[in-house]
Amino acid sequence: MEWTRRGSRSTIDSMNHLEQLYRPSLAMLTDLYQLTMAYGYWKQDLAERESVFHLFFRKNPFEGGFSLACGLQTAIEFLEGFHFHADDLKYLASLTGADSKPLFDEAFLEYLGQLRLTCHIDAMPEGTAVYPHEPLVRVTGPILQCQLLETPLLNIINFQTLIATKAARICTAAEGDRVIEFGLRRAQGIDGSLSASRAAYIGGCSATSNVLAGKQFGIPVVGTHAHSWVMTFPSEREAFEIYAQAMPNNCVFLVDTYDTLEGVRTAVEIGRTLRKSGHEMLGIRLDSGDLAWLSIEARKILDDGGFPDASIVASNDLDERLIESLKYQGAKIDTWGVGTKLVTAFDQPALGGVYKLGAIRDEQGVWQYRIKLSEQSIKVSNPGILQVRRFEKPSEHRGDMIYNIEMHQELPTDVTMIDPADSTRRKHFDADSQSADLLVPIFRDGANVYSTPTLQEIRQHVTTQIQRTPKGVQRFDNPHSYPVGLEKSLYETKAAMILEARNRS
Ligand SMILES: Nc1ncnc2c1ncn2[C@@H]1O[C@H](COP(=O)(O)OP(=O)(O)OP(=O)(O)O)[C@@H](O)[C@H]1O
Ligand SMILES: O=P(O)(O)OC[C@H]1O[C@H](OP(=O)(O)OP(=O)(O)O)[C@H](O)[C@@H]1O
Ligand SMILES: O=C(O)c1cccnc1
C-alpha cells in the first residue's frame, strides 16, 4: 500500500527559496570578522587580489566512513541573491569601535553597496560521496569576495552535509524500508527544520511531516495523527471512527495511547468498516513500548484480520543503531518515522567543515601557495588550486586523489597518490582506470553556469554513490578508511612548504 502524497511546488516563481523565507539578501549572514578583514583588504588595495579558498572537513561525522555532499543548491541561491541593501549599509554604518567612532568608512560601505560577486565557484554535485580533506567547494576570485563567503558557505554546506549523511545512515539501516522525517518539532529553529527536511530527503528519506518543506522543495508530505486526537474522544474506538469518517483516504491509526495490541484490534475493526465504504486502512503507528515485540504481534493481528498490506509505522527516538537492532530482533516494521535524532544529528550536532586559503596571486600575477600549519600534521591544509579525481572500477569507487590543477592542467594517465598521514602508503592508478573529477563549474565570473539537478536526480545520484561506495566503508563500527591521497607532486610541494615554514619559525 503506497502511503505517499505529493505536495505541489511553490508557485511564487519570482523568488528563490531563501528569498521567500528571508526577503532581504543574506549578505549580512556572516561573522563580523569577515567584514573587518574585507575592510582591511579594501584599505590596503588588496580587495581585488585573486585568491583560492577550499571548503572541506577533516573527519567524517558519526565515526562513519563516508559523507554525502549536500547544500549546494541552497548555496547557489544564496550566491545569486548576494548583495548589500541600503538598510544593511545603514546598519553597518552604525557600528562603532573602541573609540566610539564608526568601524567602517563611508567609501567602503559604498563599495559594498556596489559589490556584485565575480567569483568562479566549483563544487561537488549534491549527493556525491565525499571524504575528509577533499574540497567540496572551491572559490576563486577577489580575496574580499572569497572571504565574505566563508561563513555562509560553511553554515549551509556543513549542516546539510551532516544531515544528508545521517539520513543515508538511517536509510541504510532501514534496508530499503520507507523512512519518514518527523523532525520539525525538535529541529534547530525554522531554517534548521527546512534545511534538515531537504537534506534528509536527499539522503534517502521518502517523505517529511514538514508541510512548509513540502511546499518549498516539493518533498512528499505525510502525516498520521497524535495521541491528543485519541485523548479528545471518550474512547479510542470513537477516535478512530471519527478520524476514518474525516479522512477515509489517510488512515494510519496511532494505536498505543492506552493498550497497544487492543488498539491494533480496534484499528482492524474500524478498517473493516472503512473497507465497506470503499477505502483501505493504510496502517497503524507504534510510538512506545517494545517496538520489536509489539510490531510482531501487531503484524499477526493485522494479517489475521485481513490487512496483510497495512503498514506498521514505528516512531520514538529512533536512529540508525536502534533501527539496526530492531531489524535484528525481527521487528515487523516497514515504515520508520525518525525525528529528533535525524534533524539534530543527535550524536554529532555539527560537521567541522572549514574554509582555507590555498593560494593567492602576488603583484606579478603569479600564484603563491599557502598552507595553514598545525601541530597535528593531519590538520595542515593543502596548498594550491585543488581538484579531486575519483578512480573507479565499473561498480565501485577505488580511491580519490587530490591534485593541484595549476601543476596539472592534464593529469598523466598513470598516477601515484600518497597518504598524507603516512607517506609510505601509496596507491597507483594506471591508464586503464576509469576516473572523473568531482568538482564541477558552478559559477564563472559570478554567473551561474550550472544546470541544477532536480531533487529526484540528486536522490538517484545518492543511490548510485552509495552502491559504489565499498561496503566496509559504509559499516557503522570501525569502518574502513576509504583511500584519499595527494598526487605525488602536490605531496612534495606541501612537504617542502611545511619544512620551510617550520624552519622560518
Ligand atoms: N525492542 C527494542 N529494542 C531496543 N530499543 C527499543 C525497543 N523498543 C523500543 N525501543 C526504544 O527504547 C526507547 C524507550 O522506549 P519506551 O517506549 O520504553 O519509553 P518511552 O519513550 O519513555 O515511552 P513512552 O512514550 O510511553 O513514555 C525508545 O528510544 C524506543 O525507540
Ligand atoms: O521521536 P522522534 O524521532 O523525535 O519522532 C517524532 C516524535 O514526535 C511525536 O511525539 P512527541 O515526541 O511529540 O511526543 P510523545 O513522545 O509523547 O509521543 C511522535 O509521536 C514521535 O514520537
Ligand atoms: O505524522 C506523524 O505521525 C508525526 C508527525 C510529526 C511527528 N511525529 C509524528
Amino acid at 354: V
Q: Whose CA is nearest to atom 7 of ligand 3?
A: 182
- Cβ–ligand 1 contact at 249 (below 6 Å): no
Q: Whose CA is nearest to atom 13 of ligand 2?
A: 185
Instruction: For this complex, say whether ipTM is above 0.95.
Output: yes
- Cβ–ligand 1 contact at 330 (below 6 Å): no
Q: Minimum-distance ligand to the CA of 336?
A: 2
Per-residue model confidence (pLDDT) at position 424: 92
Per-residue model confidence (pLDDT) at position 24: 61
Measure the CA–CA gap between 438 and 484, rounded to whole angstroms.
Answer: 13
Number of Cβ atoms within 10 Å of the Cβ of 159: 24
Return the beta strands (E) in 67-225 as ranges.
67-68, 120-123, 129-130, 137-142, 178-181, 207-208
What is the distance in A from the centroid of ligand 2 to the CA of 438? 39
Where the chain has pLDDT below 70, the residues are 1-24
CATH code matching the domain that covers 224-333, chosen among 3.90.1300.10, 3.20.20.70, 3.20.20.150, 3.50.50.60: 3.20.20.70
Measure the CA–CA gap between 482 and 386, rounded to whole angstroms.
Answer: 19
Of 382, 440, 385, the closest CA to residue 409 belongs to: 385
Per-residue model confidence (pLDDT) at position 411: 76
Per DSSP, the residues of 179-247 read EEE--GGGSSHHHHHHHHHHHHHHHT--EES-HHHHHHH---B-----HHHHHHSSSHHHHHHHHHHH-
Per-residue model confidence (pLDDT) at position 409: 72
Radius of gyration, CA atoms only, the chain: 26
Report which ligand 1 atom has the smallest distance to the Cα of 256. 26
Of 503, 500, 353, 492, the closest CA to residue 420 belongs to: 492
Question: Which of 186, 291, 318, 324 best tests ligand 1's pocket when mutated (most atoms within 8 Å of CB)?
Answer: 291
Per-residue model confidence (pLDDT) at position 15: 62
With a Cβ cut-off of 6 Å, ligand 3 is lined by 182, 209, 223-224, 285, 315, 337, 339
Q: Minimum-distance ligand to the CA of 288?
A: 1
Question: Which of 230, 258, 285, 290 best tests ligand 1's pocket when mutated (most atoms within 8 Å of CB)?
Answer: 290
The residue written with cell numbers 498505543 in the block is: 256
Question: Phi and psi dihedrals of 19, rounded to 5?
Answer: -65, -35
Per-residue model confidence (pLDDT) at position 468: 97
Report which ligand 2 atom has the smallest distance to the Cα of 318. 3
What is the distance in A from the centroid of ligand 1 to the CA of 315? 9
- Cβ–ligand 1 contact at 188 (below 6 Å): no
What is the distance in A from the centroid of ligand 3 to the CA of 376? 45
- Cβ–ligand 1 contact at 316 (below 6 Å): yes
Report which ligand 1 atom has the smallest distance to the Cα of 329. 1
Whether 319 contacts 342, CB under 8 Å: yes
Of 136, 115, 151, the closest CA to residue 70 belongs to: 136
Whether 1 contacts 334, CB under 8 Å: no
With a Cβ cut-off of 6 Å, ligand 2 is lined by 182, 185-186, 227, 287, 315-318, 337-341
Per-residue model confidence (pLDDT) at position 32: 98
Q: Whose CA is nearest to atom 18 of ligand 2?
A: 287
Per-residue model confidence (pLDDT) at position 361: 97
- Cβ–ligand 1 contact at 289 (below 6 Å): yes
What is the distance in A from the centroid of ligand 3 to the CA of 308? 23
